[in-house]
Chain A
Amino acid sequence: MASDNATDLKDEISELAPFDPTKKKKKKKPVAQDHVEEVEKLVETTENLSVEDAGESVFSGMKKKKKKQVELDIEENEEGDAGEDNDDGKLGEDEQGEGIIFGGEQLPWEGTDRDYKYEELLDRVFNTLRENNPLLAGDRRRTVMRPPQVLREGTKKTVFANFMDSCKTMHRQPEHVMTFLLAEMGTTGSLDGQQRLVVKGRFAPKNFEGILKRYINEYVICNGCKSADTILSKENRLFFLRCEQCGSSRSVAPIKAGFVARVGRRKAGV
Chain B
Amino acid sequence: MSDLDTQIPSTFDPFAEASADNAGAVSKEYVHIRVQQRNGRKSLTTVQGLKKEYSKTKILKDLKKEFCCNGTVVEDPELGQVIQLQGDQRKNVSTFLVQAGILKKEQIKIHGF
Contact = CB atoms under 8 A, between A and B. Distances in A.
A68 B112 CA distance: 80
A186 B38 contact: no
Nearest to A183: B111
A124 interface: no
Contacts of B39: 263-264
Interface stretch (A2-10, A167-175, A201-209, A229-237): A201-209
Interface stretch (B2-10, B16-24, B29-37): B29-37
Given A184-B113, A201-B37, A263 B44 contact: yes
Contacts of A161: none
Nearest to B38: A263
Contact of B74 (A185, A258, A261): A261
A259 B79 contact: yes
A154 interface: no
> Chain A: interface secondary structure?
loop
A260 interface: yes
Interface in B73-89: 74, 76, 79, 82, 84
A61 interface: no
A251 interface: no
Contacts of A210: 113
A183 B113 CA distance: 11
Contacts of A201: 37
B26 to A, nearest CB: 17
Contact of A261 (B32, B46, B111, B113): B46
Of B38, B112, B113, most buried by chain A (CB within 10 Å of CB) is B113
Contacts of B32: 258-259
Contact of B111 (A184, A203, A208, A264): A184
B112 A185 contact: yes
B94 interface: no
Of A186, A201, A210, most buried by chain B (CB within 10 Å of CB) is A186
B113 A260 contact: no
A187 interface: yes
A203 B37 CA distance: 9
B46 A259 contact: yes
A253 B113 CA distance: 19
B37 to A, nearest CB: 4
A109 to B, nearest CB: 60
Contacts of B111: 183-184, 186, 258
27 contacts: A184-B111, A185-B37, A185-B112, A186-B34, A186-B35, A186-B37, A186-B111, A186-B112, A201-B37, A202-B37, A203-B113, A207-B113, A210-B113, A258-B32, A258-B48, A258-B111, A259-B32, A259-B76, A261-B36, A261-B44, A261-B46, A261-B82, A261-B84, A263-B37, A263-B39, A263-B44, A264-B39
Interface of B: 32, 34-39, 44, 46, 48, 74, 76, 79, 82, 84, 111-113
Closest 8 CB pairs between A and B? Answer: A207-B113, A201-B37, A186-B36, A259-B48, A259-B82, A263-B38, A259-B79, A258-B32
